[in-house]
Amino acid sequence: MTTHEILGKQVAMPVQIRKATAFMAMYSVPTAAAQRLIDPTGLEILQFRPGRGLCGLVFVDYVDGDLGPYNEFGVVFMVRDHRTRGGSVPGDLRALATGGAGALIHQLPVDGDFTLAAGRGIWGFPKVLADFTADHASDVKHASVGQDGRLIVDLRVKKGLRAPGGSTGTTMQAYSHIDAITRCTSWEMNPSGVRTRLGGAEVTLGTHPIADELRSLGLPRRALMTTAIPDLKMTFGDATVV
């Protein structure tokens, strides 16, 4: 078992998140515009149809975990496995269906110093400090995130239907990129009580540079689908450089 020293504390691997809640909206975005944003990573945007990729906006409230309690907002792109180059739409769809796709954590504001240091130091996640307001308890989930007095995103997600089975554990490769290094981390998720629906999101973009990035992808626009997870457990392994 490996450990990492973060701000004078030992963090043992893998890191366990015993209780979190989350909600997200998934958007169709132009492949070319998304690829320009992620080109420094060396990864490729996955296409679910010709010329279109997938971008998720997700808010997470970490209630009980090895890094302590904190809020997080992520801009996530679905990407091809780093060992795959020049894939096709049918191949990308198979990867989505079989768990062979990866998730690039492109932006990751948080509201805690310890998780910021751990995220950047252990996994290379692009965490930055930000300010949050969040309501994960109401039927309509609502959160906003800003930095230095500038709004990044305000997101509302309406109540969906119970997903079949209510819980599906999955393991995904999470990619990160900071300081010109791309890393890959095994990310295990065990959700319960999942609700989902087509559309169902209201998004407002602010004046922050992250909001400008999202505008370059054509947001705000109608979400493909939204998901709310009232009970989420996660495990993060060590990162490897790719």
DSSP letter string, 112-169:
-HHHHHHIIIII---EEE-EEEEE-SSSSEEEEEEETTEEEEEEEE---EEPTTS---
pLDDT per position as a tens digit, 24-54: 999 999 999 999 999 999 999 999 999 999 9
- Residue 43's pLDDT is what? 97
pLDDT per position as a tens digit, 212-221: 999 999 999 9
Q: Does 9 have pLDDT greater than 70?
A: yes
- Place 126 in a pLDDT band, splitting at 50, 70 and 90: very high
- Place 78 in a pLDDT band, splitting at 50, 70 and 90: very high
Is 171:188 a contact under the CB 8 Å cutoff? yes
Q: Which residues of 16-35 are buried (b: 16+ CB within 10 A; e: fewer)?
A: ebeebbbbbbbbbbbbeebb
pLDDT per position as a tens digit, 133-151: 999 999 999 999 999 999 9
175 SS3 class: strand
- Residue 119's pLDDT is what? 98
Mean pLDDT for all residues in the chain: 96
Question: What are the beta bridge partners of residue 198?
Answer: 225
Region 160-188: mean pLDDT is 89
- Residue 163's pLDDT is what? 87
- Residue 84's pLDDT is what? 84
- Place 89 in a pLDDT band, splitting at 50, 70 and 90: very high
Whole-number Cα distances in Å, 195 to 39, 105, 138, 157: 33, 23, 13, 11
pLDDT per position as a tens digit, 194-214: 999 999 999 999 999 999 999
Is 24:59 a contact under the CB 8 Å cutoff? yes
Taking residue 145's Cβ as centre, other Cβ atoms within 10 Å add up to 26
- Place 87 in a pLDDT band, splitting at 50, 70 and 90: confident
Higher-confidence residue of 38 and 164: namely: 38
- Residue 166's pLDDT is what? 53
Does the pTM surpass 0.85? The reply is yes
Q: What's the longest Cα–Cα distance across the chain?
A: 49
